[in-house]
Amino acid sequence: MFSRIGFHGYAPIGAAALCVVASMLNAERVQAKPSIILFISDDHGWLDSGAYGDTFVRTPNIDRLAKEGMRFTHAFAASPLCSPSRCVIQTGLMPHRNGGHKFGTPIRNDLRTMPTYLKELGYYTAHFGKFHHGPGRSFPYDHIRKSEEEAADFLADFNGPGPLFMVVCTHPPHTPWTKNTTYDPDTITLPPNLIDTPETRADRADYYSDVTLMDNILGDVLDVVAGKAISRNTLFLYSSDQGANWPFAKWCLYDGGLRVPLIARWPGRIAPESRTDAMVNLADLLPTCIAAAGGSVPKDIDGQSFLPVLTGNITTHHAVVFGSHTGNDNGGPGVWNHCPARTIRTPTHRYILNLSPDTTFTTHITGVKQGIHFLPHWDSWVKKAKTDPIAKATVERYQHRPREELYDMGKDPFEMVNLADSPEHAELLKSLRTQLATWCKRQGDTIPLEYLAE
C-alpha cells in the first residue's frame, strides 16, 4: 500500500523548498504504477463496432474509448477458439508452448500467468466474468467473480491495497445472442462472404444486440474509472478473444477468426484518436502490461511488449504473426470443429496450411440443430445452395478446405479468392510455407512439419 507523507507539525519552509517538494511529489505521481484494466469480450468481430467502420451496430463506449486512445488495425488472436486464445493471453506463450492448444485443455503446470507476474509487481489482482482457462490453481487472482457485471461495483469501492490489475471478461457477444428488439434486419449491410437470407439477417440483428449489450457493460466500467482518481493513471485495454461466431470467422484461421479489435487508452501516455497499423498478437498483452507496470519482461515467452507503440516511440512491432487451430470434440455426436490448421499473416498476405483437408468441417454453426446455440442462418444457406450457384460455392468453400490457401489481404480482405495455385504467387507461397515450418519447429509443434517438408 502506498503511504502518504503528511506535513502537519513541521515548521514553515520557504517557497523555494515548497517548489522542490511539489516537484518531487509530482514526479512520484508520474512514476507511480498505473492501474491496469484489461477488458476482453467474447466472439466480437474486429469490424463490428463504430470505431472500426460499422455504421449500423451501436457501440458508443468502444467508440469513445477509441477517441480517447489508440486503435490497432492489425491485432490478431493466436487461436480462433475461446480457451486456447485466453491461455495465450494469460501466459504470453503461443498455444503449443503453453499446452492449452486444444479447446478446454489446461496449460502446463509449471507456467506463470498474468496474476502471478502482476502480484509480484505489487498489484492487487481481480478477475470478473468468463474464466475460461485452467487449471484454476495456475491463475491465483486475489479476487474472482463469475459475473462481469460485478466489475463496475467492485471498481467503485476499490481503494487498495496497491495498484489494481483487473481483467473483465464478458460473456456477450458469445451465443446465445440476445433476442433483437431494436435493430431492423432489413437494413443491415452484410459482409460479402455471408449469404443473404432472412435468417442471416435475423441472426445478424441478434448478434448486433449482443454486441451492444457487451458495449453497455464496457460503458459501466469506463464510467466508474472516469469518476475515480485512478483515471489519471490507468492503462485501459479493450480486445476480444477471437472473431465472431459466423462462418469463415470463429473456428477458422481467416482474418474473420483471428483478427481482433484492440484499443488502448492511457491519459498522458497514449495520444487520443491515434491509430496504428503495427502488427501485434494477443500474446503481447501480458508483456505489455508487465512493461507498463515497470517490470522486466520475461525473455522466455513468445509475446513482446508493444508499449513503445502505445507511447508513439515506434510505429511497427511484428513483421509477421502466426496462428494455430487444433479443435475440440465436445458438444455433439462424432467429432466437431476438427479442421486443424496453421497460418502465417504478413501485412499484405495470409497463408493457411490445412492439416485435414479431407474432413468435412462441422462446427457449432453447422451442427447444432436445436437449443440455445442453434443459429438458423446455416440451414437457410444449405437450402439456398440447392438452387443458387453462389450459395452452393460458399457452403462448399466453408465445409471443405484445400490443403493450402493464400490470400491477398489488400485486394481480397474477406479471403474469397485462393491464390495458392497461382503461378505468379509461387515464390511467395514457398517463402511463407518455409517461415511457417520454421516457426512450428521452434514451437515444438511437429504435426504440420511433414506436410511442409514435401
Distance CA 146, CA 136 (A): 13
Residue 60: per-residue pLDDT: 98
Per-residue pLDDT reduced to its tens digit, 14-70: 444 444 334 333 433 444 899 999 999 999 999 999 999 999 999 999 999 999 999
- Mean per-residue pLDDT for 396-420? 97
Name the E strands within 219-302.
234-240, 259-265, 274-281
- Has residue 161 got a pLDDT over 90? no
| The predicted structure's pLDDT at residue 296 | 97
Structural domains in the chain plus CATH codes: 32-316 (3.40.720.10), 325-452 (3.30.1120.10)
Rounded CA separation 129/300 (Å)? 29
For 377-397, give the DSSP string. Answer: HHHHHHHHHTT-HHHHHHHHH
What is residue 280's predicted lDDT score, i.e. its pLDDT? 98
Distance between CA atoms of residues 42 and 243, nearest Å: 8
Q: What H or E segment, with its residue span, contains residue 76?
A: strand 70-76
Tell me, what's the pLDDT at 30? 41
The one-character DSSP state at 249 is B
pLDDT tens-digit series, residues 201-230: 999 999 999 999 999 999 999 999 999 988
The C-alpha cell that represents 209 in the structure block: 444486440
Q: Report how many helices (DSSP H) and strands (DSSP E) the chain contains, helices first.
A: 15, 12
Residues 107, 79: Cα–Cα separation, whole Å: 14
Which tens digits make up the pLDDT trace of 280-293?
999 999 999 999 99
pLDDT exceeds 60 at position 2: no
- pTM here? 0.91
**Average pLDDT score over residue span 383-397:** 98
Contacts of 110 (CB under 8 A, 6+ apart): none
The residue with greater pLDDT, 298 or 9, is 298
How much is the mean pLDDT over the chain? 91
Residue 336 pLDDT > 80: no
Residue 128 amino acid letter: F
Query: How would residue 363 be classed by pLDDT, with cut points 50, 70 and 90?
Result: confident
Residue 93 is predicted with a pLDDT of 98
Residue 53: CB atoms within 10 A of its CB come to 9
pLDDT given at position 450: 67
Rounded mean pLDDT of 301-320? 98
